[in-house]
Chains A and B, each alone.
Chain A
Amino acid sequence: MNCEVCQLEELKVEHFEIREVLRCILHTIVFHRALGLLRPKDVDLELFEITYVQCGDVELEKKIDEKIDHFISWVEKHPNKKSQLCLSFYEVKSKQPSWFTNKTERLYWEQWYANLNVTQHPKHHSSKTHHTKVVVDPGESATEERSSRRAMVEASLREVLFQIIKFVNEKKDHLPPISEGVIYFPYETTIPSSSYSAFGMDMIKRMLHSGHPTMLS
């Protein structure tokens, strides 16, 4: 069974928007992969005019919120960095136990990457600035800027949700069979912060800029 990977479009969000955005994305993915009997629950985002669907399971909600808390704390420790949250679905397969391996292994059949670019809050003009320029009515422009930025984030988030729906529709054959009485496929969330891909790209960029002899062909 192959593992299908979906890289969701990157979202530029502010720190206070992370929780809502991730809740929306993760719950939408899980809802589409929870094929057992469930009662859908519509949830309205507070920051955006978007309604997404949850599975209506309180336990699931708690788990996802914990993962999001973990992610937020990681983002706070690594500011100004593009961050990813990976949601993976797997199957548990038993295998021959040995001295160094467990009896079961996880076979991942689907992975979702939510890409967030967490931006800092824009600095507002203060009365103690040394600049002599007179800022004419900064309040309105800041508000307009904020609302336009908010609209952009909302549109982007909506596109991400459409992307999820499209992926769910197009890729169906790789799903494992539905077990009796099971609502959700087993899943895990990880933060591939120190992933090879991210680290490797940084290294390559530095080498290119520094003009390392080995990089020149």
Chain B
Amino acid sequence: MVMKVYGSALSTAAMRVFAALYEKDLQFELVPVNMGAGEHKKEHFLALNPFGQVPAFEDGDLKLFESRAITQYIAHEYADKGAPLVCEGKPMATVGVWIEVEAHQFDPVASKLQWELVFKPLFGMAVDAETVKENEAKLAKVLDVYEARLGQSKYLGCDCFTLADLHHIPTLSNLMGTPLKELFEARPKVSAWAADIMGRPAWAKVLAMRNQQ
């Protein structure tokens, strides 16, 4: 039975999961959820994710929600397929740290900026300049820490590409399409890392999915 991902190729959280599946060369079925029509808040979807958010995921009898829990499951369950997205032994501890850094330091700020600069314009909503300014300053500080870290380590978690890097790609990719790309490009190590992770073939496949929608 093929794995299913419920969501949309436009959702950054769902894209995290697609990226992991493509990295692992795994077959899956995308079950579209029509968010414009509020499908994610209806009973049949709430049974898959009681928080009414995409993505939701099924692998046989296993049902999961939360993109970062889904990618962890994929990485461990299919450890022997495709790219190793986690490390064994001591490096995993540091990968675990930077997985949390993405979730708690990068994403809250980057998501707000993504909402203001990428999604609001799509919906014809006015951009809140104050919010952008405030969060741009916060993002700059986070990226300073990343710049120092990437001076010590090829990728964020360790010397190979892991979930710690992958989880950034969808939002990072969106922000690179805004004037904020300057923040990334002004920092040489961050810039090289961003180009590297966005240049991965698995990510190209996710973008192809999105462009088909």
Is B truly associated with A? no
